[in-house]
């Protein structure tokens, strides 16, 4: 069984997504096999939106390319000079404009070069869905000059859903899969990954074009429970209280099948009551094989705001 990621928040939340574009002092995990001529070594790359926890970054030697988050005109690299705590603290001081931008091709060039320097003979690059970001386009441009084959995967999802794809692909590679086979694993996970969440700042979701404004002049006083589908936040229900939201979210997850791996995400302390209620409803559910915990980082929080929480889930064994 894979280890849980991050710690449960107790009024706050453990930072589980400090992903950095870092230089690793050790060679790739599969390096021991390179003594046998003809055995490929897969280098793994993703982007910071995946919220891939540091322990997995280190375990698999993943190069993580940071997205840019802009707060009131100031640019930050996610996980490099802005973490989740720093990001949500800015809202307490009245931040008014928040946006994100995909990495440049040049940042992917650096990541691919680092992987090649560490022994990669092919690269698997798994990323945020092209329907919500141009990150994959930048990776594609950089891949043309990488010097080794680069297999790109468009997960079609965001946040920890991307991390799940990276994680399963990395496990496949560690067991001897080539880049194409590992990519197929990532794509299979992506195809069966679901999500459900509550947004703490609906105005951010609407201003970014991911959530339509409510119909009618009066709007709605309810709490929308949402899912991300093809780059849009789509309501799956509307409730009056956070307890009801937790029940709707838990039902959505449990209805997805059996032997589910579930990631529970939290933005900040403001979402703790909802997060804890959702955890309580799922941790011992018969449909759930494993629950892991992660932090909703800046590039996701820029579109959802403080007070957000949700679940990402997929069936094990895909």
Q: Is residue 18 part of a domain?
A: no
Q: Is residue 14 part of a domain?
A: no
Question: In sequence order, what are the beta bridge partners of 64?
Answer: 46
Residue 165 has what DSSP assignment? H
Using the predicted structure, report yes or no on whether residue 38 has a pLDDT greater than 70: no
Two structure tokens written together for 38: 């003809």
Q: Is the pTM of this model over 0.95?
A: no
Residues 146 and 77 in one domain: yes
Q: Is residue 154 part of a domain?
A: yes
Residue 207, pLDDT score: 81
191, 219, 243: which is the final residue of a domain?
191
Q: Are 226 and 196 in contact (CB under 8 A)?
A: yes
Q: Is residue 102 part of a domain?
A: yes
Residue 12, pLDDT score: 39
> What is the H or E stretch that residue 70 is in?
strand 68-71
Using the predicted structure, report yes or no on whether residue 169 has a pLDDT greater than 50: yes
Residues 303 and 220 in one domain: yes
How many separate domains does the chain show? Answer: 2
Q: Is residue 110 part of a domain?
A: yes
* CATH number of domain containing 310: 3.30.1180.10
Residue 79, pLDDT score: 96
Using the predicted structure, report yes or no on whether residue 20 has a pLDDT greater than 90: no
Residues 36 and 142 in one domain: yes
**pLDDT more than 90, % of the chain:** 76
Residue 49's domain comprises 29-191
Read off the pLDDT band of 221 (50, 70, 90).
confident
Residues 70 and 176 in one domain: yes
pLDDT tens per residue across span 55-114: 899 999 999 999 999 999 999 999 999 999 999 999 999 998 999 999 999 999 999 999
3-state secondary structure of 100: strand
């Amino acid at each position: 069984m894979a280890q849980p990621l991050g710690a449960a928040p107790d009024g706050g939340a453990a930072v589980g997504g400090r992903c950095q574009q870092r230089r690793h002092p050790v060679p790739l995990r599969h390096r021991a096999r390179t003594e046998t001529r003809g055995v490929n070594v897969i280098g793994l790359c993703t982007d910071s939106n995946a919220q891939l926890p540091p322990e997995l970054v280190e375990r698999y030697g993943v190069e993580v390319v940071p997205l840019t988050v802009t707060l009131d005109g100031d640019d930050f690299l996610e996980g490099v000079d802005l973490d989740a705590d720093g990001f949500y603290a800015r809202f307490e001081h009245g931040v008014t404009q928040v946006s994100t931008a995909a990495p440049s091709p040049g940042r992917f060039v650096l990541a691919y070069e680092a992987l090649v320097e560490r022994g990669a003979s092919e690269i698997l690059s798994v990323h945020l869905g092209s329907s919500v970001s141009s990150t994959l386009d930048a990776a594609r441009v950089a891949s043309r000059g990488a010097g080794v084959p680069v297999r790109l995967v468009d997960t079609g999802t965001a946040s920890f859903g991307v991390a799940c794809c990276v994680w399963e692909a990395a496990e496949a590679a560690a067991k001897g899969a080539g880049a194409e086979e590992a990519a197929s694993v990532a794509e299979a996970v992506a195809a069966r990954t679901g999500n459900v969440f509550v947004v703490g700042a609906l105005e951010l979701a609407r201003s970014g074009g991911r959530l339509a404004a409510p119909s009618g002049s009066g709007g709605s006083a309810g709490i929308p429970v949402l899912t991300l589908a093809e780059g849009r936040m789509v309501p799956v229900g509307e409730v009056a209280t956070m307890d009801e939201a937790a029940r709707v979210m838990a039902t959505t997850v449990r209805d997805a099948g059996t032997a589910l791996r579930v990631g529970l995400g939290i933005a900040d302390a403001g979402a703790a009551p909802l997060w804890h209620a959702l955890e309580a409803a799922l941790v011992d559910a018969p449909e759930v094989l494993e629950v892991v915990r992660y932090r909703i980082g800046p590039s996701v929080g820029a579109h959802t705001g403080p007070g957000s929480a949700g679940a990402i889930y997929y069936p094990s064994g895909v």
